[in-house]
Amino acid sequence: MSELSGKVQTVLGLVDPDQLGRTMTHEHLTMTFECCYFPPPPGDEEVAENPFQMQHMHWLRQNPYSCHENLLLQQETGAVRDELLAYRKAGGGTIVENTTTGIDRDLPTLKQLAKDTGVHVIAGAGYYVDSTHTEATKRMSVEKLTDIIISEVLHGADGTDIRCGVIGEIGTSWPITESETKVLRATAHAQTQLGCPVIIHPGRNPTAPAEIVRILQEAGGDISKTVMSHLDRTIFDDGELLEFAKLGSYLEYDLFGTEMLNYPYNLEVDMPSDSQRVKALAFLVKEGYDDKIVVAHDIHTKNRLTKYGGHGYSHILKNIVPKMLMRGISQNQVDKILIDNPKCWLTFK
């Protein structure tokens, strides 16, 4: 039995799972999203160059990916520290920080933030989407990728001794590329050896989550210890959602706080409102999936921080939980979603 068994691995070391408390399973505290810059609508170039003004806040919410500066969350460590203190005050205990190789994971900063704020921070191992894979990564065998991921969990990542406590977010595009497929297989192999939690970023197509589960399963992955992220922008049909839920992964609604009319990465997608997200959670609870739901905000741009008029990391605890209760999700079920399900997922087998 490994020393990890029955424990959760934070950036400050192993903790007992009962210490986690309320947990956001998909956030970023420091990262860059430059890989996903999207040019502004014609005529809006000037706003995009100087967006952090009161009169541009609405524009920024609608076009968060069209302003280079907005994509540099790593410049906001001070604001994030204040946010984490507010998160604790609001009753939060833990944050899973999903930044992986390709979007500037910064483990020393995560460790310092955890020390400064008392929030448990769990870091992610592995690789983001193909467009961020280096040529060297693309050339690696599944075995080599597996060794690297295992080492990031057992020994530390990016030349530090700071250890990751989950694998992911593992990035995939649609269609899934050859390099991403290798990373998914390596993820499953590493999970088999470590008994650890996994979290996946699916491509923007309703069939992507099931295809990912198929690849992981074929490589021996444990789907019951895997979170499928971003379902709120990926599966919209109730029937398709239930079909996917039957496959047994955790079902993550993690874009709480995001309001966007035109989702630039897939204009077919109508990004839901928070009310529609809560409705989807209530539907899944009614269908018996309260043991499988997890939630978060996936903050990855500056405009979503309270410093810039955004909702911050406490939005779910402050605003969404009361709405969940109003829509028929019981306190016991809310506690499962915020405490029990993340705890169960994050505990090493």
298 is in an annotated binding site: yes
Using the minimum distance from each CB to ligand LF4KAAF6, give the nearer residue, 187 or 333: 187
In the complex with ligand LF4KAAF6, the residue whose CB is nearer, 129 or 148, is 129
List all residues 6 or more positions away from 299 whose beta carbon is below 8 Å from its beta carbon. 27, 28, 73, 257, 305, 310, 312, 313
Of 280, 286, 273, nearest in space to 252 by CA: 280
3-state helix vs strand vs coil in the chain, percent to 5: 45, 15, 40
| Integer Cα distance of 166 and 44 in angstroms | 40
Q: How far is the CB of 288 from ligand LF4KAAF6 (least distance, A)?
A: 26
Least distance in Å: CB of 255 to ligand LF4KAAF6?
6
| Smallest distance from ligand LF4KAAF6 to CB 233, Å | 5
Min separation Cβ 232 and ligand LF4KAAF6, Å: 8
- Residue whose tokens read 């500037």: 104
Residue 161 CB, shortest distance to ligand LF4KAAF6, in Å, is 26
Convert 89-151 into a string of H (helix), E (strand) and C (coil).
Answer: HCCEEEEEECCCECCCCCHHHHHHHHHHHCCEEEEEECECCHHHCCHHHHHCCHHHHHHHHHH
Task: In whole angstroms, give the CA distance from residue 308 to residue 83.
Answer: 12
Q: Work out how close the CB of 89 gets to ligand LF4KAAF6 at its nearest, in angstroms, rounded to a whole number.
A: 26
197/347 with CB nearer ligand LF4KAAF6: 197
For the CB of residue 184, give the shortest distance to ligand LF4KAAF6 in the complex, in Å: 16
DSSP label at 177? P
Place of tokens 């160059």: 49
Pick 33 or 345: Cβ nearer ligand LF4KAAF6: 33
Considering the complex, state which of residue 180 and residue 290 has its C-beta at the smaller distance from ligand LF4KAAF6. Answer: 180
| Residue showing the smallest CB distance to ligand LF4KAAF6 in the complex | 300
Residue numbers at the binding site for ligand LF4KAAF6 (CB under 6 A): 201, 230, 233, 255, 265, 298, 300
Instruction: Using CB atoms within 10 Å of the CB of residue 135, give its burial: 0 to 12 exposed, 13 to 18 middle, 19+ buried.
Output: exposed
The annotation status of 300 as a binding-site residue, yes or no, is no
178 is in an annotated binding site: no
Q: How far apart are CA 18 and CA 339, in angstroms?
A: 9
Asked if residue 40 has a cis previous peptide bond (ω within 30° of 0), the answer is no
First to last CA, the chain: 9
Nearer Cβ to ligand LF4KAAF6, position 26 or 292?
A: 26
Q: Provide Rg for the chain, Cα atoms.
A: 19
* 230 in a labelled binding site: yes
Task: Considering the complex, state which of residue 233 and residue 277 has its C-beta at the smaller distance from ligand LF4KAAF6.
Answer: 233
Q: Of 339, 336, 254, 349, which Cα lies nearest the Cα of 20? A: 339
Annotated binding site for a divalent metal cation: 26, 28, 169, 201, 230, 298
Which residues are part of a known binding site? 26, 28, 169, 201, 230, 298
